[in-house]
């Protein structure tokens, strides 16, 4: 169902559309049902549970036939997929090409190569991503059907396209043709090029497997395959490292340490291996390797030298070698002042002075020099603030004011960032409060709310205003939420937010994307949007976000808004910008969230805030720490939250991907953190992220401090930033969807416990 706010937005903007452009209406986004349970279909598709998704498609329309066929193909039920998709091209011209390609790929698996090539050939003659994929199918189909000369022609066409992702596919295909023709040496030349230039491409392992089979019984060819220059081997190692193939780097690139490498080669090889060791948490070995990389890179004056220095500093710091870490950071600033990592070194150096040397004066002098030297550095605001917090905690308010004023020298980012948007004006207000300048403090708190609407610092600022004038603060907040106009170029009535169907060549792929989204297939819809040619522009991203939102793909729609359209945050969430905010902050699984909220007394807005920041609304996501599902629970914690009294089934990793299991367990854990730590709600995210035990320890150490300062002193950066994100999201849900609250924004006491 289309929101009323979108309908009003469309009516208001129609007059501003380009001549001839068709405005999109509510009907353009209405889901097309293909079964009795569209919500279940969307959930299964999001989690890539294809067999379960197939079972939800019970309709008999051409649209249902396409969705069923596409899902059957994903579920590897190829014969059934071909049967379902065969009538689709005639009945649904918009989806004809995708139906043909999906069926053709299934035919290849079924051993029907000639039919697959024939079916894909009309698509291969076109342009775009579908055409490139079709050429692969045609080439392979012709090859498997024994029509080798024709296959060679198509593979050569793919090779000469110079599309990086397609070149290794063509090389592997040509190599297989050469094997069929008995030209093994030529085949190995193609395979060697894949292995050296595209080792991390998905065809890379296939190429190596084929090469190994060709040289297995031929020592001369094996020697030729293994004969590679040191430069080629090091370059291959860099490509593997860039792709994150760290295990392969350790097994295949690390042995090159014994070779006679020149400084440039030694620099690159040691850096790749050291990075892999660090990723595998082999910190001691990584430190030795990266220190060697630093020496070689500096000697070669290689572009990796600052990167090696940066990694060396972090490793020394990680292993408690603070003095040598600081030496690396100083060398970075001195030797690579023009590099973008130089200000990062300054940040770590400032931390060293505060944390290890307890030298506030030295840190102040250092950060002042850094602010002058690196005004545009992205880490300089963090360095300045780190020293400010130390001065504020020490109640050296005169020094703190001077440090905070250093921000005037820095280049503003212009972006919304949870960690610092509104930070300077809020803490200026705090300094004003300390000095008794109440009117000035009020001015700064109001500025914070306007500069960074509904951010962490805006919530803090609002809470400060409530404590001095509750009624006035509420009036100001309500007016601000309804009247914020937006940044230049992104005002509520700006062209970027207009929803209109593209014209010309982009029309057909857009209509295909729209139809796929309405059918509940968001990822193919996004691929079709890419073919529409809008590019990575704000207008195209907004249209994609709306399509994904209407398809129920909230993990995709909100992510577009978060990563590519943060300008929405300066629109009025309770006014003309409501639609943008609602797309960025959806409310999926509402019945489950409401039930969990009722059971645990954790407010539904808080649960959605945690869900958004934990999983981005993806039920099937699993983190590197083995946290699973919407509220990112690790299995031991989830098992502890299971209710034996309710005779709930045993909890498994798979069951945690089910919203009906994950949401109540996650809500119970939130309530547990609250009870265990006795922290106020604004600090519960810190315990949810780092563990209730960690939060209790921090409260024991710093719980006497005001809450705003307490959060800035959370020692884990991830938990500190996570807390700010969740509280901001909680505030947004409250502002957008809250009814009956006296405070339109959550009020947060400065007491760390209770509340």
CA 331 centroid distance within chain: 33
Are 707 and 748 a contacting pair, CB within 8 Å? yes
Query: In this structure, what DSSP letter does residue 563 have?
Result: H
Of 594, 510, 230, the residue nearest 518 (C-alpha) = 510
**Amino acid 742: pLDDT:** 87
The rounded distance, in Å, linking the Cα atoms of 274 and 282 is 9
pLDDT at residue 100 in the model? 97
- In this structure, the dihedral spanned by the alpha carbons of residues 254, 234, 204 and 45, taken in order and rounded to 10 degrees, is 80
Residue 194 Ramachandran class (φ > 0 left, ψ -120 to 50 alpha, else beta):
alpha
- pLDDT of res. 745: 94
Domain-terminating residue out of 210, 231, 252: 231
Sequence-ordered list of residues with C-beta below 8 angstroms from that of 626, at least 6 positions apart, any chain: 634, 635, 653
Dump the DSSP string for 49-106.
-HHHHHHH----SHHHHHHHHHHHHHTT-HHHHHHHHTTHHHH-GGGHHHHHHHHHHH
pLDDT of residue 740: 77
* Count of structural domains, the chain: 2
DSSP 8-state code for residue 497: G
Element (H, E) at 399: helix 397-405
**pLDDT score recorded for residue 21:** 67
In a domain, 606, yes or no: yes
Whether 203 maps to a domain, the answer reads yes
Residue 237 to residues 116, 243, 275, 296: CA-CA distances in angstroms?
Answer: 37, 10, 12, 17
Q: Give the pLDDT score at 414.
A: 80
Tell me, yes or no, whether 321 lies in a domain: no
Angle between helix 113-124 and 96-109 (nearest 10): 150
In a domain, 455, yes or no: no
Q: Give the CB-side neighbour count of residue 720, counting CA atoms within 13 A.
A: 13
154 occurs within a structural domain: yes
* Of 209, 231, 253, the domain-final residue: 231
> In the structure encoding, which two tokens stand for residue 518, read together?
């309405």
* C-beta of residue 350 within 8 angstroms of C-beta of residue 367: yes
CATH number for the domain harbouring residue 646: 1.10.530.10
SS3 per residue for 404-436: HHHHHHCCCCCCCCCCCCCHHHHHHHHHHHHCC
Residues of the chain with pLDDT under 70: 1-21, 534
Describe the crossing of helices 590-600 and 659-677 by its angle, rounded to 10 degrees: 30
CATH number assigned to the domain comprising residue 101:
1.25.40.10
Domain range enclosing 654: 590-737
Q: Would 319 be classed as within a structural domain?
A: no
Task: Examine residue 503 and state whether it is found in any structural domain, yes or no.
Answer: no
Q: Which of 216, 231, 246 is the last residue of a domain?
A: 231
Q: Is residue 65 part of a domain?
A: yes
Summarised one tens digit per residue, pLDDT across range 150-203 is 999 999 999 998 789 999 999 999 999 999 999 999 999 999 999 999 999 999
Residue-level pLDDT at 575: 87
Res 20: pLDDT:
54
């Amino acid at each position: 169902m289309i929101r009323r706010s979108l309908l009003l937005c469309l009516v208001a903007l129609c007059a501003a559309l380009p001549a001839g452009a068709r405005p999109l209406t509510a009907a353009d986004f209405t889901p097309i049902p293909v079964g009795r349970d569209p919500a279940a279909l969307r959930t299964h598709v999001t989690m890539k549970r294809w067999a379960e998704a197939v079972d939800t498609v019970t309709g008999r329309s051409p649209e249902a036939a396409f969705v069923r066929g596409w899902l059957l193909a994903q579920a590897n039920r190829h014969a059934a997929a071909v049967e379902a998709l065969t009538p689709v091209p005639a009945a649904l011209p918009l989806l004809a090409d995708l139906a043909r390609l999906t069926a053709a790929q299934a035919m290849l698996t079924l051993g029907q190569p000639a039919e697959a090539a024939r079916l894909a050939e009309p698509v291969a003659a076109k342009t775009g991503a579908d055409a490139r994929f079709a050429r692969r199918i045609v080439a392979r189909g012709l090859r498997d059907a024994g029509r080798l000369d024709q296959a060679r022609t198509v593979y050569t066409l793919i090779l000469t396209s110079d599309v990086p992702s397609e070149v290794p596919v063509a090389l592997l295909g040509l190599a297989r043709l050469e094997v069929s023709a008995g030209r093994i040496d030529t085949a190995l030349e193609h395979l060697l090029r894949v292995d050296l230039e595209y080792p991390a491409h998905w065809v890379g392992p296939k190429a190596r497997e084929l090469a190994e089979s060709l040289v297995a019984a031929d020592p001369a060819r094996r020697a030729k395959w293994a004969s590679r220059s040191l430069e080629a081997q090091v370059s291959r190692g860099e490509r593997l490292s860039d792709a994150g193939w760290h295990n392969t780097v350790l097994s295949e690139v690390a042995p090159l340490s014994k070779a006679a490498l020149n400084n440039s080669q030694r620099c690159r090889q040691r850096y790749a291996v050291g990075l892999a060791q660090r990723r595998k948490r082999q910190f001691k070995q990584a430190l030795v390797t990266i220190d060697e990389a630093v020496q070689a890179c500096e000697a070669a004056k290689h572009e990796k030298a600052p990167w090696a220095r940066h990694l060396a500093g972090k490793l020394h710091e990680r292993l408690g070698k603070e003095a040598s870490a600081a030496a690396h950071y100083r060398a970075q600033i001195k030797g690579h002042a023009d590099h973008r990592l130089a200000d990062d070194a300054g940040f770590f150096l400032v931390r060293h002075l505060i944390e290890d040397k307890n030298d506030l004066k030295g840190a102040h002098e250092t950060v002042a020099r850094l602010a002058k030297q690196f005004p545009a550095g992205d880490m300089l605001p963090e360095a300045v603030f780190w020293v400010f917090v130390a001065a504020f905690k020490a109640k050296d308010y005169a020094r703190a004011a001077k440090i905070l004023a250093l921000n005037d020298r820095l280049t503003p980012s212009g972006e919304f960032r949870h960690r610092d948007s509104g930070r300077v004006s809020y803490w200026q207000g705090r300094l004003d409060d300390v000095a008794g300048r109440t009117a000035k403090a009020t001015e700064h708190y109001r500025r914070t709310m306007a500069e960074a609407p509904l951010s962490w610092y805006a919530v803090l600022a609002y809470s400060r205003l409530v404590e001095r004038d509750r009624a006035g603060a509420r009036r100001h907040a309500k007016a601000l939420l309804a009247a914020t106009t937006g940044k230049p170029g992104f005002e509520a009535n700006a062209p970027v937010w207009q929803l209109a169907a593209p014209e010309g060549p982009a029309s057909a792929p857009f209509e295909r994307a729209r139809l796929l989204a309405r059918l509940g297939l968001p990822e193919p819809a996004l691929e079709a949007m890419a073919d529409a040619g809008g590019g990575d522009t704000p207008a195209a991203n907004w249209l994609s976000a709306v399509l994904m939102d209407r398809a129920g793909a909230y993990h995709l729609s909100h992510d577009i808004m978060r990563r590519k359209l943060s300008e929405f945050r300066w629109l009025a969430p309770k006014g003309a910008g409501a639609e943008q905010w609602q797309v960025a902050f959806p409310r999926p699984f509402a019945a489950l969230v409401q039930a969990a909220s009722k059971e645990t007394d954790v407010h539904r807005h808080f649960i959605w805030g945690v869900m958004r920041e934990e999983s981005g609304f993806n039920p099937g996501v699993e983190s590197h720490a083995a946290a699973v599902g919407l509220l990112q629970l690790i299995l031991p914690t989830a098992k502890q939250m299971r209710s034996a009294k309710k005779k709930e089934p045993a909890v498994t990793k798979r069951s945690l991907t089910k919203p009906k299991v994950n949401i109540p367990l996650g809500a119970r854990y939130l309530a547990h953190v609250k009870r265990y730590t006795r922290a106020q709600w604004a600090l519960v995210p810190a315990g949810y992220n780092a563990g209730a035990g960690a939060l209790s320890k921090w409260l024991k150490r710093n719980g006497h401090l005001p809450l705003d300062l307490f959060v800035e002193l959370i020692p884990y950066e991830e938990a500190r930033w996570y807390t700010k994100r969740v509280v901001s999201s909680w505030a947004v849900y409250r502002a957008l969807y809250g009814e009956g609250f006296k405070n339109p924004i959550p009020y947060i006491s400065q007491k760390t416990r209770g509340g």
